[in-house]
Amino acid sequence: MFSNRSVKHRFFLRLIPIFVLALVIRVLCAIPAFQETDRLRRPDSGTYLFPAYALAEDGEMKMRPRNYPGRVSFSGAFRRDYAIDCVDQRPAVQRPPGYIVFLAGLRLIFGRSPVAFALAGCLIGALTVFPVGVTGRYLAGRRAGFWAAVLYALNLTSLAVAPLLLSDTLLGFLVAFQAMYLVKSMRTGRIRDFILGTIFAAAAVLVKPVNIPVLILLFVTAPFLMKTRRKTVCAMLLVPLISAVIIVPWMLRNRAVGAGFVIDRNSGLTALHNTAAILAHANHSDANEIRIYLQNEADKEYNLQKREEWCLKRYREAILAHPWSAAATHLFQVWILLPDLPDFLQNLGLRTGERGTLAVLRRDGVSAAFRHYMDGSYAAAFLSVPFVLIHAALWLLTAVGVWFYARKRRWTILIVCLLPALYYLAAPGPVVLPRYQIPALPFACTLAGTVISVCGIRRWRKRRSCRRCNP
């Protein structure tokens, strides 16, 4: 027992330099944005910031605090999308409470400091290397865990999104612990580890509802992880019970304030973006123009619930009217695997957002989108070349890892590591923002770290000189 603890202690010590490297890189890449904090915000940021201020200052989660000015001072895109939701004292229901509560805690300590919020995001992003490394260790040994942590520390998407005032980094942190405990339960067969993985998966739902189907996936995979029938039945019963205990209270709160029995009320905005993508594909038109038109139509409904219903109705109508375009824009969107070069350059102040690059990507492909975004000046892109190469290597090694375990018929590993990653990559549909790949990164880094471990130079040389391996 003492020897096992000593090994674990040494492994954590090996991860500390990786954590320091991850934190330093994230902070250095965010320093230019600290001088102009609007770069840390995206159109979604206000839906987290205003309720967080209200919770910290007024004790209630409302659209905005009482002493906040009525006019929103963010960019035009933010004002167009969210101004209606930020001019009154209604209860905040557009987002789940997880990241809002996190920001409210920071507000109580540091005040309204976007720089402090960004540094906290960098810290959370860097701390994620620990559960990622431990997941790799449980899956394929210490070497695999070490390289999995390195790949996450140097991932361009992770370091670009970390300082932003968005919930994606916190979601990735919780999903990393979810992956760690599920892989551990696969190795140990202990129901305690499975329960902890379920708790983190349910907690991630309160950060982003994208994790709801993962709870169903956990229910289905319980028989593959537990060693006995009794443990399997117990695990399958605990998944809905734990999920209900964590999630249902917030849904009851939303119903009490008139928003319905839902996690959040952001589904209408997502449906609006998806509708614009479908119509643009069907009519060979510009998705941005269609989205603005639909947004203006939706804004005529001043009641949030009616606006949600209107957006969802238009979404259903678009799918029924253009089923082929709906399939083409929702399935196999490989562009989500691209690194988050736009946010990386925006943080450095080398580019600006709201260029309509996503519409160009859907219409003309990745090369045209890259040329459109860089606008003839490619010097800035050279800063990201090392990170882009590491990012490309990550997904290549992940594919090799999937092939490696499929060849060995290790289906349980693929169920635990591959299925969640595929779901996270497919869930955004036509909104192929690179930051949506963050919850898939812990699984991808674990599989990639396994490949590096197996194909390491030292082990390769040993196998070449081994008579048993090479008779």
Tell me what pLDDT residue 82 has: 41
Identity of the residue numbered 469? C
Instruction: Please report, as a single letter, which amino acid is at residue 264.
Output: D
Contacts of 207 (CB under 8 A, 6+ apart): 96, 98, 99, 167, 170, 171, 174
How many residues are recorded in the chain?
Answer: 471
Q: At what angle do helices 129-140 and 142-153 cross, to 10 degrees?
A: 150
* C-alpha to C-alpha distance for 160 and 388, rounded to whole angstroms: 12
Cα–Cα dist 26/332, whole Å: 30
Burial of 194 (0-12, 13-18, 19+ CB in 10 A): buried
Instruction: Determine contact, residues 416/186, Cβ cutoff 8 Å.
Output: yes
Candidates 265, 271, 214; CA nearest to 243 is 214
Sign of the torsion angle spanned by Cα atoms 432, 438, 440, 445:
positive
Query: Contact 195/208 with Cβ under 8 angstroms?
Result: no
Buried b (16+ CB within 10 A) or exposed e, 196-209: bbbbbbbbbbbbbb
Residue found under tokens 């490309």: 392
Q: Tell me what pLDDT residue 379 has.
A: 65
Tokens (6 digits) for 221: 């995979």
Phi then psi dihedrals of residue 429, to 5 deg: 65, -130
Q: What is the structure's pLDDT at 68?
A: 65
State residue 346's pLDDT score: 86
Question: Does residue 62 sit in helix, strand or coil?
Answer: strand
Give me 41's structure tokens: 């915000």
On whether the CB atoms of residues 213 and 423 are closer than 8 A, the answer is: yes
Q: How far apart are CA 105 and CA 48, in angstroms?
A: 13
Nearest-CA neighbor of 139 among 370, 412, 465? 412
- Give Cα 165 distance to the centre of its chain: 13
Which of these, 276, 19, 210, lies nearest to 125 by C-alpha position? 19
Q: Any idea what DSSP says for residue 44?
A: T
pLDDT at 304: 67
91 forms beta bridges with 62
**pLDDT tens digits in sequence order for the chain, 471 residues long:** 445 667 678 888 999 999 999 999 999 999 998 988 888 998 889 899 999 999 998 888 888 887 765 444 444 333 433 443 444 578 888 899 999 999 999 999 998 889 999 999 999 999 999 999 999 999 988 999 999 999 999 999 999 999 999 999 999 999 999 999 999 999 988 999 999 999 999 999 999 999 999 999 999 999 988 888 899 999 999 999 999 999 999 999 998 888 888 888 887 788 888 888 888 888 888 777 888 888 888 777 656 677 778 888 888 888 888 888 888 887 777 888 988 888 888 888 776 666 666 666 666 666 777 666 666 566 667 778 889 999 999 999 999 999 989 998 889 999 999 999 999 998 888 888 889 999 999 999 999 999 998 876 455 445 444 444 333
Closest CA to 157 of 333, 332, 345, 330: 345
Write down the pLDDT at residue 198. Answer: 96
* The two structure tokens encoding residue 39: 């770069």
What's the rounded Cα separation, in Å, for the pair 170 and 168?
A: 6
